[in-house]
Amino acid sequence: MSAFGYFGSKLRIAAKMHDRLPAHNCWVELFCGSAAMTLAKSPAPIEVINDINEDIVNFYKQLRDHGDELLRKIELTPYARAELELSRKAGGALSDLERARRFFVSAMMAVNGSFGAAKGGFSVSSSYSRNGMEARVNRWQSMPEYLLTVVDRLKKVRIENKDAIDLFKAFFDRPATLIYVDPPYLGKRVKGYDHDANSEKFHRELLDVALKAKCMVFISGYESDLYNELLTEKAGWNKETLPAITKGNNGKCFSRDEVIWFNRKYCEAKMTGRVPVRLTEKERKDRKVNPVR
């Protein structure tokens, strides 16, 4: 499950990983995008999703706080090229609700969910039919009902719009926290993202926090010399490769393996089957489930 189509959506990793996560009291998704992993996993006592893209964050907030109104607007929106073009027009005073509707249109009607500065073409399916209508139209018509499950899942989730490294630092010394890190890819493949942190400097700073973390961390991405250099077995990291087929924002598919790195805290917690923190009697009494250590 994901909240919308999105370049780089982690549906494959979510399907592979959601039932393999170690026990935790707090969940943080630093670069949530379509929130595929959060929506796939079981709820935790404390959950935080974060994205630097303000349109993504606004969509989640409107869906959570004004779900009925937003779903009604989506239901009344036809699957039309004109709607996609309208969603990309800059300027004008828009309500947060209309911003959310237009964002969802651009995410779902464009090829591969490209939006913002990455303008994929209008997504059509001239060969396939579902439920008596073109397949893409059928998908769009099913969205309001589908999003009801997303609304229900997001009700108890904290939604942030912060720098990912700053948020990481706020949780990295809390052993009961599990942090999922899926940063924009380091290198040239960045056109599908409207907001990118693809410089080596950013990634080195991000990995520096990951290497010092006392919490559980897992990181997904593509093969990277920098990541392989720093996230080594000697430094306490395990690595798993997942064969994958991915799409560019032109809709064309190509093979590229996904890689997941796990830190020592993650692996140890997975082996024991327990949340890796021992709470004091006072913490238990106060229901403090995610203390700093």
**Structure tokens given for 277:** 């923190």
Q: Which residues contact 165 (CB under 8 A, 6 or more apart)?
A: 202, 205, 206, 209
Residue labelled with tokens 């700073």: 205
Q: If you average pLDDT over every residue of the chain, what do you get?
A: 88
Q: What is the largest CA-CA distance in the chain?
A: 63
Most confident of 4-8, 142-146, 168-172: 168-172
127-146: pLDDT as tens digits: 999 999 999 999 999 999 88
pTM exceeding the 0.75 threshold for the entire prediction: yes
Average pLDDT of the segment spanning 175-189: 85
Average pLDDT of the segment spanning 262-266: 98
Q: Where does the chain hold its CATH 3.40.50.150 domain(s)?
A: 11-54+165-286
Q: Between 157 and 9, where is the model more confident?
A: 157
Burial 194-215 (b: 16+ CB within 10 A, else e): beebeeeebbeebbebbbebbb
CA dihedral 114, 197, 27, 236 (to 10 degrees): 130
51-61: pLDDT as tens digits: 988 999 999 99
Q: Between 57 and 289, where is the model more confident?
A: 289
Confidence of residue 193 (pLDDT cuts 50, 70, 90): very low
- Measured distance CA(80)–CA(199) in Å, rounded: 37
What pLDDT does residue 26 have? 99
Domain 11-54+165-286 in CATH: superfamily? Vaccinia Virus protein VP39 (3.40.50.150)
What pLDDT does residue 199 have? 82
Confidence of residue 186 (pLDDT cuts 50, 70, 90): confident
Using CA of residue 87, residue 89, residue 94, residue 99, what is the dihedral sign? Answer: positive
Res. 195: pLDDT tops 80: no
Residue percentage of the chain with pLDDT more than 90 = 65
Burial 23-58 (b: 16+ CB within 10 A, else e): ebbbbbbbbbbbbbbbbbbeebebbbbbbbbebbbb
79-105: pLDDT as tens digits: 999 999 999 887 778 999 999 999 999
What pLDDT does residue 185 have? 80
Burial 225-250 (b: 16+ CB within 10 A, else e): eebeebbeeeeebeeeeeeeebbbbe
